[in-house]
Amino acid sequence: MWRWMAGTLALALPAAAQAQQLRPDQASFRALYQELVETDTSITTGSCTALADKVAVRLKAAGYTDAQITPFATPEHPKDGGLVVALPGTSTTAKPLLLLGHIDVVAAKREDWTRDPYKMVEENGYFYGRGTQDMKAMDAVWIDSMIRFKQSGYRPKRTIKLALTCGEETSTAFNGAQWLAKNRPELIAAEFALNEGGGGRSDGNGRLVIANMHVGEKAAVNYRVEATNPGGHSSAPVRDNAIYELADALVKLRDYDFPVQMSDTTRAYFRIAGKARGDAMGQAMMAIAADPTDKAAEATVNADKSYHSMLRTTCVATLLDGGHANNALPQRAGVNVNCRIFPGVSAAAVRDTLAKVIDDPRMTVTQTDDRGPAAVPPPLNPQILEPAETLLAKYYPGVPLAPTMSTGATDGIYLGAIGIPVYGPPGLYGDPDGNGTHGLNERALVKAVYTGRDYLYDLIKAYAG
């Protein structure tokens, strides 16, 4: 029976004290993690292929053969390469376990950051640097685990595969996971996969409150909302103005909330995470899990941006353009609206809702792209959840485990589309503010990285054995 637990975890030791206490294997892991962070893999100035090559060197030094390592890239995207490595299992019937990790990062500008984003700095109990949280800590854990398995002579029952891919952070880029699913599905064939999206959430002071198993995600779709107008000379302005029309539409979109929706995963999350909190927010979370129509509970839960997003489809303006000359009335004004769509809702239905909310025949709403196939939520499988919970009691005593739906989007959608259920395990965790992910001064909790490394190593063995 899957047990739910409640409790807390103490804050990590200071960074300086931790650095002095590193075991030799932790020091090796830290060096690997640092190499990953300090290899620029942004789409603007970096190269995933260069990092994949460095990882291949490490894997070969650990004893993997060329036959067990498959690098991949396309001539059209030489810097967006990745690799797949396999540790053969002893069973001829047990299907493999796949570890998935994207190695690309969101671009970062040095002039905006307090520290060099492509240098890993340890301060005040955090590792700072682009990718420290999303998702090079987990990448480092996956790579480190594969190396330790090989060096120790470990022979899993299941074959363990690792796929490191590029393009997850940029919807218009070459996506390695999508390419593998379409062109080399045999390389990544597995009974299930472990990916980002899980982890956990601290209280903002380093105390872990809830551990999460990522079970399902939203779909990311972009729409263009556009106003057109004959324009004219700016010396004779009129109210009929494309920019004003677009501004009016944006106000309507800003003020609109899609209705509350809940799945088995999100209902369980709000019930369990709410109980763990023990405050007014926790009470509201449990109330909305019991009754999604409870407007008072919804108002309280909506105050937290991540909870607000988990309850519904969300759409937000992200890019704006308009006009063609300083001295001319605008003939065109448009905005990109990025939507994260709740599982089971179609992209067409969201487009229709946007058009209805804007309610202006002068405006057009057009779907411009999507991130891939519709997300396929995996089941709440006890064979996945129970081992994670058992190890959680060892590494994070008293902390409850809750399934959660990612409000973002991961490369797991490409695996789900070819029949591989994808889960994001606990182990690593972050702060309520998101730890600067995709923003400035990204950081990862030092304690979470080291303890998460040990937890995930044991979890992989539990699944593979």
Spatial contact of 412 and 217, defined as CB atoms under 8 Å apart: yes
| Confidence at residue 372, expressed as pLDDT on a 0 to 100 scale | 77
CA-closest candidate to residue 344, choices 422, 418, 228, 266: 266
Q: What is the pLDDT along the chain (465 residues), one digit of tens a residue?
A: 343 333 333 333 444 444 558 999 999 999 999 999 999 999 999 999 999 999 999 999 999 999 999 999 999 999 999 999 999 999 999 999 999 999 999 999 999 999 999 999 999 999 999 999 999 999 999 999 999 999 999 999 999 999 999 999 987 789 999 999 999 999 999 999 999 999 998 888 888 889 999 998 998 899 999 999 999 999 999 999 999 999 999 999 999 999 999 999 999 999 999 998 889 999 999 999 999 999 999 999 999 998 999 999 999 999 999 999 999 999 999 999 999 999 889 999 999 999 999 999 999 999 998 777 877 788 999 999 999 999 999 999 999 999 999 888 899 999 999 999 999 999 999 998 889 999 999 999 999 999 999 999 999 999 999
Q: What is the DSSP string of 272-341?
A: HHHHHH-SHHHHHHHHHHH-TT-HHHHHHHTTSHHHHHHTS-EEEEEEEEE-S-TTEE-SEEEEEEEEEE
One-letter amino acid of 305: K
The pLDDT, as a whole number, for residue 109 is: 94
Count Cβ atoms within 10 A of the Cβ of residue 117 and give its class: 0-12 exposed, 13-18 middle, 19 or more buried: buried
User: Which residues pair with residue 221 across a beta bridge?
Assistant: 339, 370
Question: Measured between alpha carbons, how far is 186 from 180 in angstroms, rounded to an integer?
Answer: 9
Q: Which whole-number Å values give the CA distances from 307 to 269, 322, 329, 428, in the listed order?
A: 10, 33, 42, 20
Residue 203: its pLDDT value, please? 85
Kindly report whether the global pTM for this prediction surpasses the value 0.75. Answer: yes
Burial readout 189-221 (b: 16 or more C-beta within 10 A, e: otherwise): bbebbbbbbbbbbbeeebebbbbbbbbbbbbbb
The pLDDT assigned to 20 comes to 56
Estimate to the nearest angstrom the gap between the alpha carbon of 127 and the chain centroid. Answer: 18
Cα 80 to Cα 46: distance, rounded to the nearest angstrom: 9
